[in-house]
Amino acid sequence: MPAPLPKNPIINEIESALRADSGDKRTKVLMSVTDLFIGGAAKYSYFQTKLFDDVLVHLIERVESSALVEIATRLASVPNAPVDTIRQLAWNDAIGISGPILSTSPRLSDSDLIEIAKTKSQAHLASIARRAHLNEDVTDVLVDHGDADVANEVAINSGALCSSLTMAKLVLRAHGDNQLTESMSRRTDIPPQMFHQLLTQATEVVRTKLLASAKPDQKDTIKTVMDEISTQVIKSPLAPRDYTKAKRTIAALSQDTNLIRTKVIEFTDTKHIAEVIAGLASINGLMVDQADKIFYAPTCFGLMILCKASALPWKTTYAVIRARPTGLEAQVASHDELHDQFSELSILSAQTLVRFWQGRQKVVQAVAEGRH
């Protein structure tokens, strides 16, 4: 039989408070029950904690939000806080209530955090991103659903574990975002190839700033990458690649996404790379020059995401990746590793990143038009 709650006069008031019309009385009892729990939390059994949980859940549904802010703040760091109470507070729309729980409470599972991240506000996601430790599944959802501030919170959190795919998403999102670029550059777990990509897409001002603030063991790496970038600029053609014919070919397909997808597969087989790039741009609502940059980037992650968002099969995607010029990272990347990452990546996740590129594209266009 479960052990009874400790003898205390407040227990006799609980049922009366639950039936009372007075909000002040319910709030007073809620505070007293919380005091009672926190005062003996370390010694309470599972069953005693569960009894507290049942009482607190009923009380927090019947008090003002101002009282819940204090309750959430006090319970957030308690290791054995009543779990149903914690979950109810975590799901609250008011970030003043849910924030302390989301950023601190050890009672929330990864499943709890993922479901909240998928459905709640950006402020909720930012609070989750500040947790002392985050597993890969949680950070992946945060990066997929979060805005620029959430992405930066993940990037600066050394306790946020990131899979190679999530790391790639952050690097790709850092394009045009100086703050995220700087935050990602300071991560000690960023793979060399992705660090190269990060520097390649960064502005000269940001590269110089990163070099000035880098630790001694990073300075040589940054200088090497910057030298490589300078060499590539010298070797690159003075004029951009000509996609006039390829764009006409794709335009003739009447914006039929299924037909364009079929043609992209055919173009891949026949090595018509310009048409492949123009087709991928059309399917995903991107400018051809942006798809060009993704295709010829130092890493193949962006291209793999673009192919996934286009619902291309793995065989075609790998053929597109292999069509990149000799010397790029994708030429020597493991087939199995790429296949695993492609399988792990959902179409929805890929399309989310494409929407981010579309937004970035609009900003660039707006800036360009403002100059005229």
**With bands split at pLDDT 50, 70 and 90, how would you rate the model's confidence at 160?**
very high
- Give the pLDDT mean for 344-359: 90
Q: Which pair of structure tokens corresponds to residue 108?
A: 């929330």
Is residue 10 domain-resident? Answer: yes
Q: Is the pLDDT of residue 327 over 70?
A: no
Range of the domain at 79: 1-98
pLDDT in tens, 201-238: 888 888 888 888 888 877 888 888 777 777 665 455 55
pLDDT in tens, 97-146: 999 999 999 999 999 999 999 999 999 999 999 999 999 999 999 999 99
pTM: 0.85
The Cα-based distances of 94 to 86, 88, 137, 148, 330 in angstroms read 14, 12, 25, 21, 46
pLDDT of residue 175: 87
pLDDT of residue 316: 94
**CB 301, CB 349: distance < 8 Å:** no
Of 98, 115, 134, which residue sits at a domain end? 98
Q: Which pair of structure tokens corresponds to residue 259?
A: 């037909």
Give just the sign of the alpha carbon dihedral 94, 97, 98, 104.
positive
Is residue 181 domain-resident? Answer: no
pLDDT of residue 202: 87
Of 55, 76, 98, which residue sits at a domain end? 98
Is residue 20 domain-resident? Answer: yes
Of 48, 77, 98, which residue sits at a domain end? 98
Is residue 160 domain-resident? Answer: no
